[in-house]
């Protein structure tokens, strides 16, 4: 080995740590786009604007960072999840939140998750797909995957939230009509400093046969603020209804049809039971003559 080879060898050994660090950072850059580098997204913003008075109220409540917990209920197609995701992305980009956590209860399917291939993200995909469809309107698939890899966006089943504390986090709890009261209480006590929690759900579409966590917290919150009307409101309730369905005219009509189903059934029952048939006048006259109702009805 000549003096040149020896010098190169000694240089490499003495600078190994720096070379390894540079190589490692270059590899990390290839697989991860930091928040400050996410500029090549598909759109500058999620171009969704409120289309009803209730949606305007919902958006206003979301935009106020003093509202630490927002509980929004309403039928499908009213923008419950859409506006929550939109605000979550805005908070992430502005630095108001450092990460987004998406959770939802898995009713009657938790046993099936063990049979699904992949990690928890892949296992949760069938249930978080509606949320990710919204995120994919803003981020590319590659960006989203890298943000999930680095836990900038986290997907977690509701059962996995126990014992955790979330700081500087925007939490979206979707389809919470399928939670139990205990699960709801557990979730709402996970919110740490700098975090916000948006709870969405439809009280008319629940897979639970027992107590409903969403209904329970709505009732308890209303009761608390009625009894403590001077309390500083950190929790806000927003109710969306059929008039706020903007997904499509078809969805609006389908929801209206299902809402009037019970009325239609009741009307059919009444019409069958109260159907007017032939009147037996002889039987009426044979009744107790002291019954003034019958006398009055035939004397007029």
Tokens 């709801």: give the residue. 184
Is 238 inside a domain boundary?
yes
Mean pLDDT score, 201-228: 91
- Range of the structural domain that residue 254 is part of: 53-261
Is 34 inside a domain boundary?
no
pLDDT digits (tens, 9 = 90+) for 167-193: 999 999 999 999 999 999 999 999 999
Is 46 inside a domain boundary?
no
Query: In angstroms, what is the C-alpha Rg of the chain?
Result: 30
Please give the angle made by the CA atoms of 209, 170 and 71, to the nearest 5 degrees. Answer: 40
Is 18 inside a domain boundary?
no
Q: What percent of the chain has pLDDT over 70?
A: 64
CATH number, residue 173: 3.40.50.300
What single DSSP character describes residue 176?
G
Is 139 inside a domain boundary?
yes
Sheet containing 153-157: order of strands: 153-157, 99-104, 169-173, 196-201, 69-73, 235-239
Mean pLDDT score, 250-273: 65
Retrieve residue 136's tokens: 């994919």
Is 200 inside a domain boundary?
yes
Q: Greater confidence, 55 or 37? A: 55
What single DSSP character describes residue 76?
T
Is 296 inside a domain boundary?
no
Domain count for the chain: 1
Q: How far apart are CA 284 and CA 55, in angstroms?
A: 59
Q: How far apart are CA 147 and CA 7, in angstroms?
A: 43
Could you tell me if 149 and 99 are in contact, meaning their C-beta atoms sit under 8 angstroms apart?
no
The whole model's pTM is what?
0.69
Q: How far apart are CA 234 and CA 245, in angstroms?
A: 27
Is 179 inside a domain boundary?
yes
């Amino acid at each position: 080995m000549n003096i040149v080879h020896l010098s190169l060898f000694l240089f490499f050994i003495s600078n190994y740590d720096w070379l390894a660090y540079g190589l490692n950072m270059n590899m990390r850059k290839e697989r991860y786009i930091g928040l400050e580098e996410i500029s090549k997204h598909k759109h500058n913003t999620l171009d969704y604007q409120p289309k009803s008075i209730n949606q305007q109220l919902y958006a206003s409540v979301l935009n106020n960072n003093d509202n630490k917990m927002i509980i929004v209920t309403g039928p499908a197609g009213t923008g419950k999840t859409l506006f929550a995701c939109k605000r979550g992305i805005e908070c992430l980009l502005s630095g108001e939140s450092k990460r987004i956590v998406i959770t939802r209860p898995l009713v009657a399917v938790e046993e099936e998750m063990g049979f699904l291939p992949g990690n928890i993200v892949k296992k949760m995909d069938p249930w978080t797909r509606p949320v990710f469809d919204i995120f994919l309107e803003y981020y590319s698939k590659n960006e989203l995957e890298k943000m999930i890899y680095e836990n900038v966006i986290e997907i977690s089943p509701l059962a996995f939230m126990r014992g955790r504390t979330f700081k500087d986090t925007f939490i979206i709890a979707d389809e919470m009509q399928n939670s139990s009261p205990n699960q709801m209480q557990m979730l709402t006590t996970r919110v740490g400093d700098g975090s916000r929690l948006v709870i969405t759900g439809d009280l008319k579409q629940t897979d639970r046969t027992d107590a409903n966590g969403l209904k329970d917290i709505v009732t308890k919150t209303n009761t608390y603020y009625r009894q403590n009307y001077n309390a500083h409101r950190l929790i806000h309730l927003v109710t969306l209804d059929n008039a706020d369905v903007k997904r499509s005219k078809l969805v609006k009509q389908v929801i209206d049809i299902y809402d009037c189903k019970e009325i239609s059934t009741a009307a059919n029952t009444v019409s069958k039971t109260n159907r007017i048939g032939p009147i037996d006048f002889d039987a009426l006259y044979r009744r107790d003559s002291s019954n003034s109702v019958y006398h009055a009805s035939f004397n007029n």
